[in-house]
């Protein structure tokens, strides 16, 4: 491990808006709305598309869908949540306990299926609803939702 403070070379000169720190992973939100992630990736929490590399030591681009600009990023124990500039939510990582806001249903044994999401996936909301803020915690993700009255 790192025993002293050091600058990650890939972040030198980057225009960082904010950082998010999970249990053993970190993300940087850049001014252009893109994301970089590094650290542990055993559950897909970095959103880089694979888990074959369990540790990603250098900042690596997060695979958000094309055209999506992140406004907020937050990390929990083994998951990441992203709020886009247009109010959409994307999550990746470990779905246990509902922390990604979706269910994979039950397996043959009656237990919830666990399918790690390896890149940020859009969490659809009911029409007219818009997330204005979000935060990921240890085993949860909370979102503040606003909605408009339909005529």
CA dihedral 106, 110, 114, 120 (to 10 degrees): 20
Question: pLDDT digits over 44-66, tens only?
Answer: 999 999 877 788 988 999 999 99
State the Cα–Cα distance between residues 140 and 9, nearest whole angstrom: 32
More confident residue, 127 or 30: 30
Question: pTM for the whole thing?
Answer: 0.85
Question: pLDDT digits over 70-100, tens only?
Answer: 999 999 999 999 999 998 999 999 988 888 8
What would the DSSP string read from start to end of 8-42? -GGGTT--EEEEEE-SSEEEEEETTS-EEEEEE-T
- The CATH class of 15-147 is mainly beta
């Amino acid at each position: 491990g790192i025993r002293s403070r050091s600058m990650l070379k890939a972040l030198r000169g980057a225009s960082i808006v904010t950082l998010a720190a999970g249990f053993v992973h970190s993300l940087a939100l850049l001014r252009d709305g893109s994301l970089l992630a590094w650290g542990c990736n055993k559950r897909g929490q970095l959103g880089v598309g694979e888990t074959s590399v369990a540790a990603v030591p250098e900042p690596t681009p997060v695979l958000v869908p094309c055209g999506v600009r992140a406004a907020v990023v937050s990390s929990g124990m083994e998951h990441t949540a992203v709020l886009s500039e247009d109010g959409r939510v994307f999550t990746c990582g470990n779905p246990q306990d509902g922390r990604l806001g979706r269910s994979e249903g039950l397996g043959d044994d009656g237990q919830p299926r666990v399918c790690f999401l390896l890149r940020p996936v859009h969490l659809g909301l009911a029409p007219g609803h818009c997330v204005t803020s979000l935060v990921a915690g240890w085993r949860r993700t909370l979102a503040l939702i606003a909605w408009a009255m339909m005529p």
